[in-house]
Amino acid sequence: MSKKLRPVLIGALGAASVAALVITTPALSTAAPAPAAAQSASVLATGDLSVAAKKEIAMKLVSSAENSSLDWKAQYKYIEDIGDGRGYTAGIIGFCSGTGDMLELVEAYTNSVPNNPLAKYLPALRKVNGTDSHSGLGSAFESAWKQAAATTAFQTAQNNERDRVYFNPAVSQGKSDGLSNLGQFAYYDAIVMHGPGTDHSSFGGIRSAAMKKAKTPAQGGDETAYLKAFFTARKVVMNEEEAHSDTSRVDTEQLVFLNAGNFDLHTPLKWKVYGDSYTIN
């Protein structure tokens, strides 16, 4: 069962509409280089979570929290209403019928494959966007989702939307902030749960709160200090909603890696989420 309970994106805005709001601070990589002494405070040079092997690790880490499984590719067909007020949650990243990203996924899929099993549900998805309603969807829609998920075309569509709305913006911002693979993953996991945007409870809001407490490596700060500030800011937001109050994906996963100095996310990795133990060798 997916445990992701991402807050509803701004009103009925689609994921693409809010994705543009993720990065509100100019890319710090274009700023004047910090003095050598300040640069030395950074633990590691910028990582690259988009490298295939590291990205695979990131997908498994997120899946352990989202679906209690490392087999993230088995989640293309996943769909259910987890009772969080966001309607259906489905697919590899937990696209939601109430937050816009599911609608935009199906629109993109239909643009590339017009005669697909989900195309006829587009009017209903537009009507329920921003609500938890199942009107016009229901069990027939669930069956159509699973049917589509068996195809390479819909799997590719899910991958593309995941990257466009969540993974690529998180990694890009992480690189601009001078973060390692661990730091970039922390951004990615946060944007998956909290959504893109600039408000207090979004990824952008969490990042802004952290930057008030510590400098990013690109600003000459220490990555350990900055990530601890980011984790603290994120946990404040998580604890504001009962459904998010289990902060183990930070405490017994990301913070464990940070305390071990594993900024590269090198294997083996061992962690716990919601009390369950996982290992990547």
The token duo for 146 is 């699973």
Cβ atoms of 133 and 125 within 8 Å: the answer is no
pLDDT for 163 equals 98
CA-wise closest residue to 56 among 188, 251, 207, 148: 188
Digit-coded pLDDT (tens) for 16-49: 333 333 333 333 333 334 433 333 334 445 799 9
Known catalytic residues are 66, 84
Q: 236 by DSSP, 3-state: which?
A: helix
pLDDT band at 245 (very low <50, low <70, confident <90, very high): confident
**Mean pLDDT for all residues in the chain:** 87
Q: Which residues contact 11 (CB under 8 A, 6 or more apart)?
A: 130
Angstrom distances, CA of residue 173 to CA of 80, 99, 227: 31, 22, 14
Alpha-carbon span 274 to 262, nearest angstrom:
21
| For residues 129-140, average pLDDT | 97
The token duo for 116 is 């697909």
Least confident of 2-6, 80-84, 136-140, 264-268: 2-6
pLDDT for 85 equals 87
Least confident of 102-116, 125-139, 222-236, 242-256: 242-256
Q: Report the share of the chain in percent with pLDDT over 70.
A: 84
Instruction: Give yes or no for residue 53 having a pLDDT over 60.
Output: yes
pLDDT for 187 equals 98
Digit-coded pLDDT (tens) for 197-231: 999 999 999 999 999 999 999 999 999 999 999 99
pLDDT for 45 equals 53
**pTM for the whole structure:** 0.83
Angstrom distances, CA of residue 42 to CA of 260, 261, 278: 16, 12, 29
Q: Which residue has the higher pLDDT, 8 or 103?
A: 103
Cβ atoms of 169 and 191 within 8 Å: the answer is yes
